[in-house]
A = this chain, B = another copy of it.
Amino acid sequence: MEHTHISLAHGNGGHFMRELIDDLFARHLSNDILNTSTDAATLPVINGEPVMTTDGFTVKPLEFPGGNIGSLAVHGTVNDLAVAGATPLYLSLNAFIEEGLEISLLDRLIQSLADAAREANVRVVTGDTKVVPHGEGSGLYLATTGIGVRATRQALGMHHIRPGDLVLVSGPVGDHGTAVMLAREQFGLRGDLQSDSASVLPLTQALLPLPGLRFMRDPTRGGLASVMHEIRLATGHGIRLQQASIPIHDPVSVVCEMLGYDPLYLACEGRVVAILSEEDSEAALAAWRELPRGNAAAIIGEITTDQPHIVLQTPLGGTRILEELEDDPLPRIC
């Protein structure tokens, strides 16, 4: 391409736009279904229950340790399908590109998106690009919509959750939120902490055979605490969490203590929270710990018949109520 930066003409439907789509997007994303000369992709017949989800991405900065907005846009949507018990198949991709964005940066981001899609075994089958004037758009926003398929079997959902069920998490919480925060120059901090951004499909598929599996969710915006509140609201049950059991990487604890954040409210992008019957919880834990991204998995609490609060039991025997998030602890982390 003759340009080094995105201009408004890359969004006008003419030949610069076609060049951008063919030379950059289609070059990375090429597969047997994507056809940039049609506006709609024809998919193979879907055998089973189709599942659909969507997510928007506005992370700042666009690149951070452990990932970037491109890989995140795949993981976010793939993970929403995975925790619904589905196998992700197809993605659509929307890019809102800011005038002036370096084309070499855009190229890296889309290559990373393509790599993440290949790893998760999903194909980007259709897309659209819009260019917005310099000063709007913060470089790049992405939106992805995912289609997956689920064998019609045991349905998962919060309405299956019962008192006595246990709460599991697949790995340390708050890495993504903390890594993105550290990548912002405004904090003047540097660390070697990486985002946990990844496909959770191996983790969710490991639990699907267990009949006591009630519900799974990836704790993104609002973190682990917000998933707990969603369960509380939907079920009317309380949840008691054991603080000492919740895995948290040391650098996350340190940074959060310095800056006054609670890691239980910070986003993960590659973790799963699962609720299982007590009898199946040990099997779930064992299955997760065999996986490379599940070796720090833990049983962290249980569903109670107490007052419908989220109660954190501290190591010294005290308790603290985890309130619902009001102010934004950390904007623009996904």
Contacts and interface: CB of A to CB of B under 8 A. Distances in A.
Interface residues of A, number: 80
A84 B40 contact: yes
A40 B50 contact: no
Report whether over half of chain A's contact residues are helix, strand or loop; otherwise say mixed.
mixed
A178 to B, nearest CB: 16
Contact of A130 (B48, B58, B327, B329): B58
A93 B54 contact: yes
Interface in A292-323: none
Contact of A51 (B17, B43, B234): B43
Contacts of A14: 222, 226, 324-326, 328
B49 A42 contact: yes
Contact of A126 (B52, B58, B217, B325): B52
Interface string A129-144: 1101101111001010
- Most chain B CB within 10 A, of A145, A217, A332, is at A145
A15 B325 CA distance: 7
A38 interface: yes
Given A55-B128, A58-B132, A126-B52, A226 B13 contact: yes
A53 B81 contact: no
Interface of A: 8-9, 11-17, 37-46, 48-58, 80-81, 83-84, 86, 90, 92-96, 125-130, 132-133, 135-138, 141, 143, 145, 147-148, 150, 157-158, 217-218, 220-223, 226, 229-230, 234, 267, 324-329, 331-332
